[in-house]
Amino acid sequence: MLWAAIQQTWEPFVLVVGLLLIGHVASRDGLFEVAGSKLSRLRGGTVVLFVAMMLLAAVVTATLNLDTSVVFLTPVLLHTARHRSVKEEAFLYGSIFMANAASLLLLGSNLTNILVFTRSDVRGVTFARTMFVPWLLSITLTTLVVLVWRWRDLSAKPIIEGEDAQHFSFGPGIVGIVVAITLMLVVSRPAIPVLAVAIIVAAADIAIRHRFTLASLTSSANLPMVVGLFVLATAVSVASRYWHVSQHLIGTAGSWQTAGVAAASSNLINNLPAAAMLSAKFPAHPYSLLFGLNLGPNLTVIGALSSMLWLRVARREGASPSVWTFTKIGVVVTTVTLVGCLLIV
C-alpha cells in the first residue's frame, strides 16, 4: 500500500522542485524583475498596469507552476505597486488568486494536475487543449473580481517615482524555461525530464556565474514545506486505500458534485492530500475534480501550498496579508470561477 501511494504522489513533487529550481535561476537572470519593470512603463493608468501584471502572473503560473509564480512574482508585483504609489492590496491578493486560478492550463502548472492524471497517458497538448477555454475564463473572472473590489485604488491617478532600469542577462534560466514548457506539452510524465533539465541549468549557472547556491533555493522555495506536504499526501493516499468513502463519493458523483467535494476537501486538508485521496482511483470527471482542487483553494490560505508560500513571501516583503480578507474576497473569486468553468465544460 505504501509503495503504491508513493508511486502516485512522488511525480508532482519532483516536478515542482525542478520548476522552482529553473525559476530560481531565471530570477537571478533578472527575468521577472525586467518583465515587471517593462510593464510598469506601459502607457495608461493603474488599471492597465494591474491587468498587465495579472496576465504576467497567469503566464508564469501556467508555464512555470503556481508555486514558482508566487515565490518570484509576488515581490515584483508589490514593488510595482509601491513604485506607482498606489495601494498594494490589488497586487498583493491578485498575485495569489491569479496563481491558483491560472494553474489549470498545463499538466505542470499545478501539482494536483499530475496527481490526478498520474495513471493516465494523456499528453500535455491534449490536456492544454481541453483546459484552454476554462483557463482563459478563470483568469478573466479573477482579474475582474479583484478589479471591482479595489477599483477606487486602481482608478486613482498614480504618482510614478524614479526607478533604476532593470537588466536581463540571457542565461541558462530562459533556456530551461523553454525546454521545460516543451517537455510539459509533449511528455505525459514530465517530472524526471524537467528535473534533469533543472539540474543541468543549475550546474550551468554555477559554471558560468558562480552564484547559485542550494541554500538560497531552499530558502526561497521553502523545500521543507514541500517535503512535509509530500509526506502528508502519501499518508492520505495510503489511508484512502483502506477507507473507501472518498472514492465512493467521487465514483458516484456527477461533474458539479465532484468539483464541490474537491473544493471542500482542499480547504479541509490542503489540495495536495485531497488530490491524492480523491484520485486513488482515476475519477469519472477528472477535469471537474481539478476545477475543485485548483480553484477551490482560493477560499482559504490553507487550501494550497501556493497560498502558504504567498503568506510567507508577502510578510518577508513587508506586506500585511490578512487571512480574513483572503477568505472574504476568496469566496467571490472561488464561486464565480468554479461555476463559470463548470458551465462551459
**283-318, pLDDT tens digit by residue?**
889 999 999 999 999 999 999 989 998 999 999 899
Residue 210 pLDDT > 80: no
Residue 225 CB-density burial (10 A; 0-12 exposed, 13-18 middle, 19+ buried): middle
In a domain, 16, yes or no: yes
In a domain, 250, yes or no: no
Which of the four pLDDT bands, split at 50, 70 and 90, describes residue 262?
very high
The predicted structure's pLDDT at residue 229: 66
In a domain, 133, yes or no: yes
| Helix/strand/coil for 44 | coil
Residue 2 pLDDT > 60: no
Distances (CA, A) of 158 to 47, 171, 330: 10, 34, 27
The amino acid occupying position 214 is L
Domain range for 20 = 2-157+171-217+306-344
Q: How many domains does the chain have?
A: 1
In a domain, 266, yes or no: no
The predicted structure's pLDDT at residue 266: 94
Distance, CA of 194 to CA of 54 (rounded, Å):
26
| Helix/strand/coil for 324 | helix
In a domain, 47, yes or no: yes
The predicted structure's pLDDT at residue 59: 94
Please provide the average confidence, as pLDDT, over all residues in the chain: 84
In a domain, 256, yes or no: no
The predicted structure's pLDDT at residue 246: 59
The predicted structure's pLDDT at residue 68: 86
pTM: 0.86
User: Look-up: residue for cell 505597486?
Assistant: 81
Distance of CA 119 to the CA centre of its chain: 22
Locate 322 and state its grid cell. 490578512
Q: What is the DSSP letter of 108?
A: G
In a domain, 162, yes or no: no
In a domain, 264, yes or no: no
